Amino acid sequence: MLNTTRWPYPRIIAHRGGGTVAPENTLVALKVAASMGFGGVEFDVKLAKFGVPILMHDDTLDRTTDASGPVVDRDAAELRSLDAGIWFANEFAGEHVPTFEAAVTLCRSLGLWANVEIKPDDDNPEETGRIVAGMAARWWKDASPAPLLSSFSEAALAAARDAAPALPRALLVDEVPADWLERVKALGCRALHCRHDGITPELVAAVHEAGLGILAYTVNDPGLAYALFEMGVDAVVTDELRDIRPDFLTGHGR
């Protein structure tokens, strides 16, 4: 049985906004997720030139825009002039790289809860964590539930904790370290976010025993999603928005 105090957020979360349905980390992706009934989205935030936070997963523009080179070399106005949709499908041509502020404004207007993954460059994790958390706290003031800030970077999470201590945080891990609980406690995190193939019943039990939530990423097979929920996982992030829909658990009697 889900403990809603431990995990007060949506349980099925759209990865990078639109999963495989829309170009990642764009405003149209958030709109598509909302139109499909998703109550929660995950997206990535990093800093552009002059410390302006924007939605982007990679350190470079090559994969998801019609430009190339480091993200940090472009300011927000330059990024807005790029096409962040044509790579995905012609119907999304002209979609822009959005600022974090624009994404927050849209999420609030659509009633979307957000898991904000902080994606710092290697040389500025503290700055990215501080700026993203501070702006999230300001723009989501009084939101209930508040957004969840997550990151693989413990330095970024520590800076986020110091900048906006009231916002909940989650530690993202690729492989679960033996000292995961000590790390989570040191960062004041509310949850542990794990790659799905590293999750075991014993880990779920230990996370819950510590009063924490556990999320699995990136879960794209419905059978695997069901097995993880049966194991007690609190939430999954998915690309397959058509197969693992917001009502997935209702359809499986949970």
Which residues are designated catalytic? Answer: 15, 57
The neighbour count for residue 204, using CB atoms within 10 Å, is 19
Which of 152, 155, 150 is closest to 41 using CA atoms? 150
DSSP assignment of 117-149 equals: EE---TT-HHHHHHHHHHHHHHHTTT-SSPPEE
Contact 233, 210 (CB under 8 A): no
Both ends of the chain: CA-CA distance in Å? 9
Report residue 249 as tokens: 């658990």
- For residue 243, CA distances in Å to 16, 155, 224, 251 come to 16, 36, 12, 11
